[in-house]
Amino acid sequence: MESAHTTHVVVGISGGVDSAVAAALLKDQGLQVTGLFMKNWEEDDDVAYCGAAEDLAVAETVCAQLGVRLHTVNFSHEYWERVFAVFLREYRAGRTPNPDVLCNKEIKFREFLDYAEHLGADAIATGHYARRETQGGLPTLYKGADSRKRSVLFSVQCIS
């Protein structure tokens, strides 16, 4: 007797509406959904600029309401080494790099994908703005339908 395999999707849960909706839609499709909250910056003062604690609290609430297990992982070391140190080096050299582009490529997807694979995921998902269509049997990313919410730099780095 063959066992039915339910696709396991790890969703990057940021504490925002878009990732919460992505998780809910995937769960509604009958997929096995696991949430992953990534902390990418160490807050060593009382200023909580990035608001990770508040974002995590929202992510925990969302996952509890959806009945989804939430994993949390700290990628702040990887962020420092592969994003912020590169940013500082480039800035000192007189260039004006965009750390968000490197963060998307190196952390939000490279580390995220590696961790999701460790969890046994068949796929990953986020709440980023993109449209996916199939061309020649291969999934292809396109800009999102809402022109006010484009992630061009994000998308280019993920498919390059």
Prediction pTM value? 0.75
Is the pLDDT confidence value at 136 over 90?
Answer: no
Q: Taking every pair of C-alpha atoms in the chain, what is the biggest distance, in angstroms?
A: 64
pLDDT in tens, 93-104: 999 888 888 877
pLDDT in tens, 2-48: 456 789 999 999 988 889 998 999 999 999 999 999 988 776 655 54
pLDDT for residue 116: 95
Q: Please give the Cα distance from 112 to 107 (Å, whole number).
A: 6
Q: What are phi and psi of 93, to 5 degrees?
A: -85, 5
The highest-level CATH class for domain 8-127 is alpha beta
Q: Return the amino acid letter for 114.
A: D
Domain spans in the chain, listed from the N-terminal domain onward: 8-127
Instruction: Quickly count: other Cβ atoms within 10 Å of residue 33's Cβ.
Output: 27
